């Protein structure tokens, strides 16, 4: 304690006979430990005290010392925060290629979902049941590139998704063999829904999503015509100031838009196609809102998938029922 007082006398010309007791007590209680570290806090406190006295202020020395300690710790805190943010950004970059970021978004109530999060684990085809990952039951020699799954919180019990097993963000980025199999599934679903007296409507939203999800929603034929569905999309797009354009039936998306460009795409059972290039913002539930509207399915309360969730037992029963009904049309069963 004596050595500290001597140093303080040399450092504080305003009070040459004794150092402020608050500063020596603060240095002793700081717990910094090493020789000279406590003196360093005293030096900072004395410097602050001299500055305050030169300006005619009356300040508690202990307050000055505590302020010096917190200001000195600030660079270390900012450095730790920078390391944390850098690690988090690296994690996000790694997750973009694995779909993990979508899982994190769902856990916090986000919109982006990978198949394991948005679809039913027990709705996978090809004998794969009760798994929270894409089916691989055919082994490494399997030639299948896509699979079907019931949508969680679907507009109807037979609202399904067509998804590639490998990671791909949109249909524009699909390899030719994967796109060919996806087209086969679309054709099978058209035949299946037609046999049930329903119309086929498929849409894709390549915006704020990490994995391709082609949503296929059946619409009973007695609800409306295909022309009514097309008109509903165009009317709601105009109301929300979205430029939804009709593109040639035999044109491929790769001819319309480049990979990496956000877009919204609709395909009707007649082969008619609607396309919107997303430039700024886009309503995430637009496709569901149109199909759930009074002009189509007449169930606007089911526009948000969160309000349509059911229990696990009901989900499992719906998946099993659809699997059995679709089996005669399933391309995986044709072999």
How confident is the prediction for the chain on average, in pLDDT? 75
Q: What is the average pLDDT across 5-29?
A: 46
Give the separation between CA 237 and CA 217, rounded to whole angstroms. 19
Q: What is the average pLDDT across 84-92?
A: 77
pLDDT at residue 267, as a whole number: 97
Task: Give the pTM.
Answer: 0.61
150-189 confidence digits (pLDDT tens) = 998 999 999 999 999 999 999 999 999 999 999 999 999 9
Which residues, at least 6 apart from 279, have a Cβ–Cβ distance to it below 8 Å?
A: 262
Give the separation between CA 274 and CA 84, rounded to whole angstroms. 44
pLDDT at 276 over 60: yes
Polymer length of the chain: 335
Contact 226, 271 (CB under 8 A): no
pLDDT at 301 over 70: yes
pLDDT at residue 140, as a whole number: 35
* Residue 155 dihedral angles phi and psi, to the nearest 5°: -65, -30
Q: What is the average pLDDT across 73-96?
A: 75
Task: Output 38 or 168, whichever has higher pLDDT.
Answer: 168
Neighbouring-strand partners of residue 246? 274
Task: Output 138 or 274, whichever has higher pLDDT.
Answer: 274
Q: Per mean pLDDT, which of 139-148, 249-258, 269-278 is the most reliable? A: 269-278
Give the separation between CA 149 and CA 233, rounded to whole angstroms. 25
Least confident of 12-21, 44-53, 154-163, 184-193: 12-21
Give the pLDDT band (50/70/90) at residue 116.
very low
Give the pLDDT band (50/70/90) at residue 305.
confident
Residue (of 303, 47, 258) closest to 155 by Cα position: 303
pLDDT at residue 286, as a whole number: 96
The dihedral through the CA atoms of 116, 118, 121, 126 has a sign that is: negative
Contact 280, 191 (CB under 8 A): no
pLDDT at residue 197, as a whole number: 96
Task: Write the DSSP string, 67-92.
Answer: HHHHHHHHHHHHHHHHHHHHHHHHHH
Q: What is the average pLDDT across 114-131?
A: 36
Own/partner pairs for 134-140, CB < 8 Å, 24+ apart?
134/163, 134/165, 135/165, 136/165
Contact 195, 186 (CB under 8 A): no
């Amino acid at each position: 304690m004596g050595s500290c007082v001597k140093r303080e006398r040399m450092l504080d010309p305003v009070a040459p006979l004794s150092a402020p007791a608050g500063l020596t007590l603060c240095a002793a209680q700081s717990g910094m430990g090493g020789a000279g570290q406590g003196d360093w806090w005293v030096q900072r406190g004395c410097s602050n005290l001299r500055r305050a006295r030169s300006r005619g202020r009356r300040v508690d020395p202990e307050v000055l010392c505590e302020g010096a300690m917190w200001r000195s710790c600030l660079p270390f805190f900012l450095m730790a925060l920078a390391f944390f943010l850098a690690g988090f950004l690296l994690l996000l970059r790694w997750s973009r290629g694995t779909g993990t970021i979508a899982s994190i978004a769902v856990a916090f109530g986000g919109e982006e979902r990978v198949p394991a999060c948005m679809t039913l684990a027990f709705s996978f085809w090809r004998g794969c049941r009760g798994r929270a990952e894409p089916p691989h039951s055919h082994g490494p020699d399997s030639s299948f590139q896509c699979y079907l799954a019931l949508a969680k919180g679907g507009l109807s019990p037979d609202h399904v998704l067509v998804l590639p097993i490998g990671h791909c963000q949109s249909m524009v980025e699909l390899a030719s063999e994967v796109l060919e199999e996806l087209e086969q599934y679309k054709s099978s679903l058209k035949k299946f829904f037609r046999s049930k007296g329903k119309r086929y409507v498929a849409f894709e939203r390549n915006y704020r999503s990490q994995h391709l999800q082609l949503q296929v929603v059946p619409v009973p034929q007695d609800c409306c015509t295909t022309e009514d569905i097309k008109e509903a999309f165009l009317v709601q797009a105009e109301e929300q100031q979205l430029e939804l354009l009709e593109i040639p039936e035999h044109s491929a998306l790769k001819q319309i838009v480049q990979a990496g460009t956000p877009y919204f795409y609709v395909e009707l059972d007649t082969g008619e196609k609607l396309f919107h290039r997303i430039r700024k913002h886009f309503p995430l539930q637009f496709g569901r809102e149109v199909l759930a509207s009074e002009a189509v399915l007449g169930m606007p309360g089911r526009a948000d998938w969160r309000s349509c969730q059911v229990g696990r037992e009901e989900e499992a029963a719906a998946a099993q029922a659809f699997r059995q009904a679709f089996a005669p049309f399933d391309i995986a069963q044709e072999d």
